[in-house]
Amino acid sequence: MKFSLAWLKQYLETEATAAEISARLNTLGIEVEGLEDPAERLAGFRIAKVLTAAPHPDAEKLQVLTVDTGDGNPLQVVCGAPNARAGMKGVLGLPGAVVPANGMLLRKSAIRGVESNGMMCSTRELELGDDHDGIIELPEDAPVGTAFADYRGTSPVFDVAITPNRPDCMGVYGIARDLAAAGVGTLKVPEIKPIPGVFACPVEIRIEDPEGCPAFYGRVIRGVKNGASPDWLQSALRDAGQRPISALVDITNYLMLGFGRPAHVYDLAKLNGAVVARRAKDGEQVLALNEKTYELDSSMTVIADDSGVHDIAGIMGGEHSGVSEGTTDVLLEIAYFDPERIGATGRALGLASDARTRFERGVDPAFLDGGLEMLTALIIEICEGEASEVVRAGTPPMDRAVVAYDPALAERLGGVAIAEADQRAILERLGFEVAADWTVTAPTWRPDIDGAADIVEEVVRVHGLDHVASVALPRVGGVARPTATPQQQLERRLRRAAAGRGLNEAVTWSFLPQADADHFADGNGGLWVLENPISEDMKAMRPSLLPGLLAAAKRNVDRGAAGVRLFEIGRRYLRGGAGASDERASIAVVLTGEKQSRSWATGKAATFDAFDAKAEALALLAEAGAPIEKLQVMGEAGPQFHPGQSATLRLGPKSVLARFGALHPRTLAAFDIEGPVVAAEVFLDAIPGKKNGGAFARTAYAPPALQAVTRDFAFLVPLGLAAGDLLRTIKGADKANIVEARVFDDFRGTGVPEGQKSLAIEVTLQPGEKSYTDADLKAIADSVVAAAAKLGATLRG
């Protein structure tokens, strides 16, 4: 929620600075997420007077202005605004200023051959309104040369996060009350004067759903003039992040943001018959103010007349009965709606609004009359008109929590000793009633109070959480026992191994846009999709770690990173049979950009390929304790991967431990990232554990007594034979003597028959107790050749 310091000071008499107020709000549990001074955004903009205006010599729609900036040196400015003329006063952006609307840095420049020293600005360019038809016109008494921020009277703007248990702080007045209770200033209680009705209300108001709407108050104001709201009101709303719409709508928003009390204004001419709070009918529809049509059911409360539904109660009004510039008579609605009903309706419709945020947390049920009188007074003051008598249907629930409180609890539960007199003063400043026997009655605006612990929280947070002493937890003597699980230990080893290989760890959301999740679903029984997501971009639980890493890689590439090497350890979420959840551990790697920068030795920069992804997968599998020597390279890495540049690593046909390769162009297009991009995903849940159930551990290194021997073999093999298959077969030819085999040449050219390739293999032999004889070496070589022959390989002559 946003609000300006100027708005806060309407309800709080204080000399504290914005920084001091911000610090105190944080200690009160009202987290300040941002503090912005609009004056900083308007730095470099000055009030200037147009001295002369002449046509541009080379552009029909431009003018060349001479403007006075107050320093005695008139500047020449090229301007395209139709209302620019000699004698007017406006706002000049000087060279060096940054235009708030688009971030453009103003410079001295030539426009169609004429020098221009800045820019005369419109309200849209300074983000002060939507008008872009011409430049700002200031009154005659505007002081030339004055900084526009000083002339306009900007005020710092707070951006605070309100926890769901504090509905009383969903308005600026409630925040002022908390600050006053903390000693930051004195609360200014608004004087609410009843406005007597001059005629009977011509509209019948009744309730047919008392559970969903216990109370519904209203009155008619006739003869109003709806237009633009005053500058002070528009400024307050803009500071709060709201777009001014019209005086009538702005006034209701002002009441909601100022006092946490949503209200609604109907165009009386668009209503037909009695206005009723009732249950919706199954299949009934309403076109809401957000221009979307919603289908309702009988569990939802609506405001309707004889023609149909006009309002999804407590959430959003309807388009049909909304006020317009031509509205002359209005019906004011201020009601109390059941919080649970509001929350259920909002979730069912997927509809969020400022009103819903407040109603589902619980608004003050005692503020119906006061809110209606304030709303009436503002409308008559700004829009004129005369009010009818108030019509009241139903009674709001006025239950107030009554708690038997012991002041000693502040020290016992809160950890800080506070004098009883101070506790009583704090509670009374917050609006609580404290009897002589310490029976505490909560105010109507605090539905979150339930027991004595809540009273302790109020006292301690206002007294100051910084007064609570830090006390170390007791520790049992002796050596601490390890608490990490084998899975946690495995993930720690993998994290260190990945970082040691030059990869950077990323931590991405477990939720994805549904389109991204669908792309990696792979038919695993469907996705887990949230019914009430934080946003549409966080709607589906991830079936793979790769979408999040691809988004992170794109952000880095877009910001100029030459090479990106990312990894993440986390969980992927699959949907099993009958809706069962399946959470599985994985580690994924994404590589893109430059593998090696260009240099005099290498020439062009080298990029990543599928073999780089394979190397990362094998290294991580080895660190995880997988039997690398038994792995088989097979296809079918998934539709997200390039079919000719990807594969899987398996233990048998069905046990997939990892997949790797270059990503398919369709995947790159779906994530708007330029290739090539290679990736690997290791499925930690598929790696078999040790038979004894213990953690993987390396055996002690014991160097052999005799020197190893190498022998080279060159085989002609079918073109489609994978080198890994040949290596695996050669290693198995004589396990007692062959310790390693690697490819050191792959030749396809002159001398090699068509349909074949030449693979040169270096085989490492390790003697045991005695050195090899020629006969031993020949026997081993024969076994290698015989084993290779089973794959169609022949020894090259």
**Known binding positions for Mg(2+):** 448, 454, 457-458
Return d(Cα 741, Cα 710) in angstroms, integer: 9
Assign residue 84 a region (left: φ > 0; alpha: ψ between -120 and 50; beta: otherwise).
beta
- Interaxial angle between packed helices 723-731 and 774-789, expressed in degrees from 0 to 180 and rounded to the nearest 10: 140
Beta carbons within 10 angstroms of residue 794's beta carbon: 12
The Cβ-side half-sphere exposure at 587, using a 13 Å CA radius, reads: 30
| 205/211 Cα distance (integer angstroms) | 16
Token representation of residue 429:
């400043």
In DSSP notation, 601-625 reads TTBSPEE--HHHHHHHHHHHHHHTT
Locate tokens 């290679």: which residue?
678
The H-or-E segment that residue 462 falls in is helix 452-463
Please give the single-letter amino acid code of residue 279. Answer: R
Task: Report which secondary-structure segment, H or E, holds 16.
Answer: none
| Spatial separation of the C-alpha atoms in residues 619 and 780, rounded to whole Å | 29
Chain centroid, CA 92 distance in Å: 36
- The Cβ of residue 469 has, within 10 Å, a number of other Cβ atoms equal to 6
- The C-alpha atoms of residue 773 and residue 400 are separated, in whole angstroms, by 98
C-alpha distances (whole Å) from 248 to each of 7, 264, 289, 358 are 19, 9, 15, 20
> Up-side HSE of residue 602: CA atoms within 13 Å toward CB?
10
Distance CA 609, CA 611 (A): 5
Which residues are documented as binding site? 448, 454, 457-458
Q: What angle do CA 323, 329, 331 make, to 5 degrees?
A: 75
Of 178, 152, 153, 183, the C-alpha closest to 166 is: 178
Q: Residue by residue, what is the 3-state secondary structure of 763-794?
A: EEECCCCCCCCHHHHHHHHHHHHHHHHCCCCE
Determine the Cα–Cα distance for residues 349 and 343; give it in Å rounded to an integer. 10
Q: Where are the beta strands (DSSP E) in 69-164?
A: 75-79, 89-93, 108-111, 114-117, 119-120, 157-161
Contact 347, 325 (CB under 8 A): no
